[in-house]
Structure 1
Amino acid sequence: MTFMEETLAQVLPIWDRCVEAPFVQEVKKGTLPMEKFKHYMIQDSIYLKYYARVYGKAIYHSSTLKDIQMFYSALCFVTDTESAVRLSYLNRFGLTDSDIEDIEPFPENKNYIDFMMDIADNGDICEMLMAVLPCMLSYNYIFRKIAAEPESKGSIYRDFIEDYANERYVASCRLWSDFADEKCAALSDDRKKKLAAIFEKASLLELDFWNMSYKE
């Protein structure tokens, strides 16, 4: 097994708990109250600003053109492609990204942001990669699972589901998994264990985010 195959196998039980989270299940069925979805979208928008900053840090610390291009492509994906559906929902709520600038993150969101920014400030390229990849890869895993279930076909959140389940997103996740394998393949076992632990921690913070979104 490759490094990423082993790492993903380790976190799949956490991602399955994300799938079963009440928020995700109600998105699938289309029964989630729109007010809860609004809280999620606001908190996700706050999170994504810092998520993008980690990619910016990775670009700055990259030493090869290929790495710079990879991180730049992900930054563009986050700020452009991935933002399309998010911004459309914010517009429905009468909000823009500027309106969200002064809103405080919920505690679970702040914990996740602080974790990522600490890695960005003190970690290397591989550690930054392990801190941000669980967001992208787990969303693909979660939403491909629920998109395949008949209940999701008529969900009022179908556009949101498909945004993370479509083939373009799948291809991006595959590309980034391969990139992570390339960066980490030659590392020592101790380094790999540390990186896998960062990936697992970020996955647990993803679970906290889904549960946070349902509470509010």
Structure 2
Amino acid sequence: MDFQTLRNNCPTWNDYIEHDFVTQIAAGTLPKQSFQHYLKQDYLYLLHYTRVMALSVYKSDNLAQMRVGQAGINAMLDLEIGMYLDFCQQWDIPLAEVENTAESPATIAYTRYLLDAAMSGSLAELYAAIAPCLMGYGEIGQCLKAQGYVDNNPYQQWIDVFASDEFQAVTAQNEAHINSHFKDANPAQQAKFQRLFNTASRMEVNFWQMALDLS
């Protein structure tokens, strides 16, 4: 069992990677309000994702696994959340508005699902649940780069983050790490990983749709 097996057996993976939100980002036609809604909700999502990474430290069996979890926490707190706050500022969203934004139903459903999986399952199950987020943005960035860019795209900076060599390198490292947790799984565990992965992928689809619908 590995990430590619999970990906290839997920019925909603392409719906996630090729969602209308993503295609409109690539074309530069996404309504500003949808991107603003996405930024605010993703900020809230990332706070919960950081809590999931904290649980990965708790679930770890050894120091090396703990350090991977700690690195994930540091990446969220020191880099990615700050990047999204910078995007919010660039897109005319005051910090007070971001911090006082109510979670959408899609955000609540997705984050609580991840937290439940992290609290109730094994470390490998935790990684199966977060794998669509952990790996999907890298694939999206790679796909958009391969398609070629449109001129004067207001979302080019967002695309550039996930298409960058640095982000692609981190994605490859993440894949190797999560595969190390999946490789010795028995058939029952493999089935559980696939269910967790499939549900989280479906939640990613719903998250994009939430942004389009302003829901």
Task: With the length of structure 2 as denominator, give the TM-score of the two structures.
Answer: 0.91
User: How many Å apart are 1:145 and its aligned residue?
Assistant: 0.8
**Alignment match of 2:113 (pick from 115, 118, 121):** 115
Does residue 91 (structure 1) correspond to residue 89 (structure 2)? The answer is: yes
User: How many Å apart are 1:14 and its aligned residue?
Assistant: 2.5
1:66 partner amino acid:
A
- Find the aligned partners of 1:131 and 1:39 in 2 and give their Cα distance: 24
* Structure 2 unmatched ranges of 5 or more: none
The answer for the alignment partner of 1:7 in structure 2 is 6
Task: With the length of structure 1 as denominator, give the TM-score of the two structures.
Answer: 0.91
User: How many Å apart are 1:108 and its aligned residue?
Assistant: 1.3
User: How many Å apart are 1:22 and its aligned residue?
Assistant: 2.1
Task: Provide the alpha-carbon RMSD of the alignment.
Answer: 1.7
1:165 partner amino acid:
A
- Find the aligned partners of 1:33 and 1:3 in 2 and give their Cα distance: 37
The answer for the alignment partner of 1:190 in structure 2 is 188
2:161 partner amino acid:
D
- Find the aligned partners of 2:184 and 2:18 in 1 and give their Cα distance: 36
Distance of aligned partners of 1:136 and 1:154 in 2 relative to their CA distance in 1, 3 Å threshold: farther
User: How many Å apart are 1:207 and its aligned residue?
Assistant: 0.7
Which secondary structure does the structure 2 equivalent of 1:186 belong to? Answer: coil
Does residue 168 (structure 1) correspond to residue 166 (structure 2)? The answer is: yes
- Find the aligned partners of 2:46 and 2:63 in 1 and give their Cα distance: 25
* Structural mapping, 1:145-184, within 5 Å: 145-152=143-150, 154-184=152-182
**Alignment match of 2:57 (pick from 59, 66, 75):** 59
Instruction: Write out per-residue CA displacement over residues 53-100 of structure 1, whole angstroms, 9 at most, x where no aligned residue.
Output: 00001112212111011111122222223234312221132422x643
* Structure 1 unmatched ranges of 5 or more: none
Which secondary structure does the structure 2 equivalent of 1:148 belong to? Answer: helix
Contact 2:55–2:118 (CA under 8 A) maintained in structure 1: yes
Identity, % of aligned pairs?
23
- Find the aligned partners of 1:154 and 1:18 in 2 and give their Cα distance: 25
Contact 1:131–1:199 (CA under 8 A) maintained in structure 2: yes
User: How many Å apart are 1:102 and its aligned residue?
Assistant: 3.5
Contact 2:134–2:174 (CA under 8 A) maintained in structure 1: no
- Find the aligned partners of 2:120 and 2:106 in 1 and give their Cα distance: 21
User: How many Å apart are 1:25 and its aligned residue?
Assistant: 1.3
2:54 partner amino acid:
G
Distance of aligned partners of 1:121 and 1:101 in 2 relative to their CA distance in 1, 3 Å threshold: farther
